[in-house]
Amino acid sequence: MNLPNKLTIARMILIVPIIILFSIFTWYVITFENGEFKNVNLQTPSQYFLYTIGIIFIISMITDFLDGHFARKNNQITVFGKLFDPLADKITITITLIFLSYFQYTYIYIVIFMIIRDLIVDGSRNIFAKNNLKIEASIYGKLKTIFQSVAIPIILFLIPIVDSNVWWQLLMINIPMIIALFLSIYSGYQYFKQVIPFLKG
């Protein structure tokens, strides 16, 4: 197994501690902090769970960059990588977003629209594949992933510092995520626009 595939597997493994830490964080806040997720601050130990998740998430996104870099550089693009590389990214990002929306650290509608967009894009790619068409990844889709990868650590590291009960502070730390939302919708529209003729057929 080549290095890019090993990095992909490592990223998939990192999903496990993210889920475990989010679960422990949930239990801790409910048990010891009266379930006040929006009152996590620098005076509570629960902040360290968020910081640790943020660090693991950053490491995961670094492996994403490295496996793509080495795969292209060393011409080690494989069927395994094509399948599991984007899958590992989507699972990591989606699970993290679901937890963040549950704690009200980001907006639920952002998560819903992003999940719907991914379903539309995946469905479109399946239709393209059945028609023997190769559609290159949109630059807006790549930018969406970049903004998501930046937005999530920003939220995890800043939520213990800001007062998330104050709407404008919550909005400020979610600006990169909102940008990712618009990029997500636009790139999803581009895919769907190309698949419409096949749906009519």
Angstrom distance (rounded) from CA 148 to CA 187: 14
Query: Are 67 and 2 within 8 A, CB to CB?
Result: no
Among 14-23, 80-89, 144-153, where is mean pLDDT lowest?
A: 80-89
Of the two residues 35 and 95, the one the predictor is more confident about is: 95
Return mean pLDDT, the chain.
88
> What's the pLDDT tens digit per position in 18-32?
999 999 999 999 998
Please calculate the CA angle 102-115-51 and round it to the nearest 5 degrees. Answer: 45
Domains by residue range for the chain, with CATH: 3-200 (1.20.120)
Query: What does the pLDDT read at residue 196?
Result: 77
Spatial CA neighbour of 199 closest among 141, 128, 133, 117: 128
- b/e map of 4-14 (b: 16 or more CB within 10 Å)? bbebbbebbeb
pLDDT above 90 covers a percentage of the chain that reads 51
Q: Tokens 């790549």 correspond to what residue?
A: 142
Number of neighbours of residue 172 by Cβ within 10 angstroms: 12
Query: What does the pLDDT read at residue 41?
Result: 64
Among 27-31, 73-77, 83-87, 134-138, where is mean pLDDT lowest?
A: 134-138
> What's the pLDDT tens digit per position in 86-125?
889 999 999 999 999 999 999 999 999 999 999 888 887 7
